[in-house]
Amino acid sequence: MKGYLIVLGALIVTMSLVGGALYLSGSYEQYQRRLQAVGTPAGSSMTVVDLAKWEFAKLVGGGILFGGLVLGSLLIGLGWIGKTLEEIRDAIAADVPDVAPPRDRVM
């Protein structure tokens, strides 16, 4: 289970980085194309909606990047904690001899 958590965390981090970067890149390119098509400077009233779309895209893309990094790092950390706890359990079990617990006798 611990190995799956680590792999899943790494996969989520990778996918969020790639997906967030592609989303931001595509949105910025669309915003720049719209600015060139209109032919007005970036602060004009004709491009306010386009600017709002770009700002929203930055929020969404940043959320994808940040959320994926947090979730993936959390899963990787849980996998490492599980691995460490398993190693501790095995080390303790190796030090303690197998002794049957005493049975209560009913007289």
CA-to-CA dists, residue 45 to 32, 41, 55, 60, 90, angstroms: 16, 9, 15, 24, 68
Q: Is the pTM of this model over 0.75?
A: no
Pair 38, 46: CB distance under 8 Å: yes
pLDDT in tens, the chain (107 residues): 778 899 999 999 999 999 999 999 999 999 888 888 888 776 676 678 888 888 999 999 999 999 999 999 999 999 999 888 888 888 888 877 666 666 666 65
